Amino acid sequence: MFSLIDSHCHPHFPQLQGRAELLIAEMETNAVAAALAVATTAAEATTVTALAAAHPGKFYAACGVHPLSAESEEDGEDAIAKNCANKNVIAVGETGLDFFRGRETETMQRNRFAAHIAAARKLQKPLIIHTRESLPQTMDMLAAENARDVGGVLHCYTGDAKQMREAQKINFIVSFTGILTFKNSAAMQETLRAAPPDGYMVETDAPYLAPVPHRGKICTPAMVRNVAEAAAQIRNEPLKKIAANTTKTFHRLFHPPD
Ligand SMILES: [Zn+2]
Ligand SMILES: [Zn+2]
């Protein structure tokens, strides 16, 4: 027997919205005990907090404003802290820097990111970090804003093993998605092999990034099982061990309520 947790998904996005019961049933079939629902806007904070309250122990919530969400979002420290105060909100985020579409909004993104780190420190809750084409800048900000006091996770990690070790030094671990199952993920697989047993988690980022053999479908939290199965193959460890280690790491980092 084994039990998994999806450490990052968006079950409230339009593709999955209103299907909580079905998602939970599918999770149970696949030995997925729980999933962390991550908000990307202030309005979604309400949705994921309600989802977690309605399904205790099945869904947990994380609240933040994504770096690519509208500039008009309420993203000050106080607004973020308020959205994250609920006991079912176990992390602050997702937040970070995303330069995939260029650096036009860099200043806004940096201000927003700093506000999240400040709110996390105030609440003593860990951070969920989104970083795309911006890992060095993200790491610099985490260090400069003393994010190590609360720690957190670099979700959908695509950096290398060296950067992973740098992150560990400031109290940040990594989380791997279904990209692990894609062709051309050799570098990421190598990073996973280098991760210490207590230094990584698995996630879906549903509704995106459906793993093999579900490519092209809408991804659901249950598919974290495919990610974990891939991790087992890559690390040459039994699935049971992957499940136990990633679940333990999730609990250590996020302290979910019972
Ligand atoms: Zn993200
Ligand atoms: Zn996400």
The rounded distance, in Å, linking the Cα atoms of 59 and 84 is 15
Ligand nearest to the CA of 208: 2
Q: Hey, how many other C-beta atoms are within 10 angstroms of the C-beta on 46?
A: 15
How many residues are present in the chain? 258
- Alpha-carbon distance of 159 to 148, in angstroms, equals 19
Cα 130 to averaged position of ligand 2 atoms, centre (Å): 7
Q: Which ligand is nearest to the CA of 207?
A: 2
Distances (CA, A) of 181 to 7, 189, 204, 231, 237: 17, 9, 11, 9, 16
Going from the Cα of 91 to the center of ligand 1, the distance in angstroms, rounded, reads 14
User: Which listed ligand is nearest to 155 at the C-alpha?
Assistant: 1
Domains of the chain: 4-254 (3.20.20.140)
- What's the pLDDT at 258? 76
How far does residue 209's CA lie from ligand 2's centre (Å)?
10
Ligand number with the minimum distance to the CA of 95: 1
Q: What is the pLDDT along the chain (258 residues), one digit of tens a residue?
A: 899 999 999 999 999 999 999 999 999 999 999 999 999 999 999 999 999 999 999 999 999 999 999 999 999 999 999 999 999 999 999 999 999 999 999 999 999 999 999 999 999 999 999 999 999 999 999 999 999 999 999 999 999 999 999 999 999 999 999 999 999 999 999 999 999 999 999 999 999 999 999 999 999 999 999 999 999 999 999 999 999 999 999 999 999 997
User: How far is it, in rounded angstroms, from Cα 231 to Cα 247?
Assistant: 14
Closest ligand to C-alpha of residue 11 is: 2
Closest ligand, as measured to the CA of 97: 1
Q: Report how far ligand 2's centroid is from the alpha carbon of 221 (Å).
A: 12
Q: Nearest ligand, CA of residue 129?
A: 1
Of the bound ligands, which one is closest to the alpha carbon of residue 9? 2
Amino acid at 190: E
Residue type, 92: V
CB 154 within 8 A of CB 167: yes
Q: How far is the CA of 169 from the centre of ligand 2 (A)?
A: 24
Distance 31 CA to ligand 1 centre (A): 24
Q: From the CA of 187, how far away is ligand 1's center (Å)?
A: 20
